[in-house]
Structure 1
């Protein structure tokens, strides 16, 4: 039996628009992001979704609330779906973070974590899913680290290869977790 996972990123934030890498800071959806979240809800309304799991950071929570409020689908917050923790550098300019992120594949950001640690944290979330959600379809709302977890754990893409690619936003990715 498998779990179908539909991954969606949190919607556009004020930090995204200002060119900041939010990391573990809460962030807040921009006007454009709020519209994107409502569109996410319309896009997934008839999708047979059993549950929505989202990062507990405010920008992901806001996305889930705007998308699924009133739908009857349970929305469950999980800290393991958070973005990579840039530690002392949370909120740094995004261009600076992207330019130096390969340096933090295995070496944590000062006071934070490495990208590989963030992916490992997300894999622990995936390991817990089969006990309750086997045979179901779920939505996961998260961040770059969340998508890298899914690509690494479920498609076998090395984290090193993921770091070399641009994130490339789109309206959802589909994954299968074999249980």
Structure 2
């Protein structure tokens, strides 16, 4: 029996709606984000979860609490699951970054895995802390089902690495919508099979 990981992105925030860089910014869910998380909690309430882990930021912990309550679980904060720190772009709209830091943004767009904004993190930095966390969780909960709540960039990096994608294209080739559900089955700490990707059917038609 494999170890099953439900990998979830947190629900929407006000900064999500405004298309702002909010990697390390500690913001709560918006009303829409809370609705999305509640819909996912309803979808998963009959599943057997053995543990819930989450990035320690407010938006991820709030999502994780909503999902954990039906199972009588308390989310465990894992700092390694935090989102990319966008450095001096934090809080700015994407359009503002494109115009104000034009050259820096263009270089980053070419290879966001290796390049970081000033005072921020590259994809390499994030994967180096997030992937060992996921592997430890899989090892700790062999043959169980565990839910992880993380972020758009972090989830895309984890999935890209586990499936052997070209990491330079993780932003262009993979989407992670708010409160999206991904399902990964692990036969070992390093061999994963993707069963479900970026599924938001629990709220998209409601």
Q: Of 125, 128, 138, which residue of structure 2 is paired with 1:117?
A: 125
> Who is 1:137 aligned against?
145
1:161 Cα deviation from its structure 2 partner: 2.5
Is the Cα contact below 8 Å between 2:10 and 2:151 reproduced in 1?
A: yes
**Larger mean Cα displacement after TM superposition, 32-41 or 125-134:** 125-134
Change (3 A) 1:13 1:146: same
Is the Cα contact below 8 Å between 1:39 and 1:67 reproduced in 2?
A: no
Is the Cα contact below 8 Å between 1:84 and 1:118 reproduced in 2?
A: yes
Is the Cα contact below 8 Å between 2:152 and 2:176 reproduced in 1?
A: no
> Who is 1:167 aligned against?
175
> Who is 1:69 aligned against?
69
> Who is 1:29 aligned against?
29
> Who is 2:3 aligned against?
3
Change (3 A) 1:26 1:114: same
TM-score computed with the length of structure 2 as normaliser = 0.78
**Larger mean Cα displacement after TM superposition, 114-123 or 164-173:** 164-173
> Who is 2:135 aligned against?
127
CA distance in structure 2 between the aligned counterparts of 1:140 and 1:35, rounded to whole angstroms = 19
1:67 Cα deviation from its structure 2 partner: 2.6
| Long gaps (5+) in structure 1 | none
CA distance in structure 1 between the aligned counterparts of 2:9 and 2:94, rounded to whole angstroms = 17
CA distance in structure 1 between the aligned counterparts of 2:132 and 2:64, rounded to whole angstroms = 21
Aligned-partner SS, 1:139: strand
Change (3 A) 1:105 1:171: closer
CA distance in structure 2 between the aligned counterparts of 1:123 and 1:171, rounded to whole angstroms = 19
CA distance in structure 1 between the aligned counterparts of 2:78 and 2:186, rounded to whole angstroms = 18
| Long gaps (5+) in structure 2 | 99-104, 189-206
Change (3 A) 1:140 1:43: same
Q: CA RMSD in A?
A: 2.1
TM-score computed with the length of structure 1 as normaliser = 0.88
Aligned length: 179
Q: Which has the larger radius of gyration?
A: 2
> Who is 2:116 aligned against?
108
Q: Of 136, 139, 156, which residue of structure 2 is paired with 1:148?
A: 156
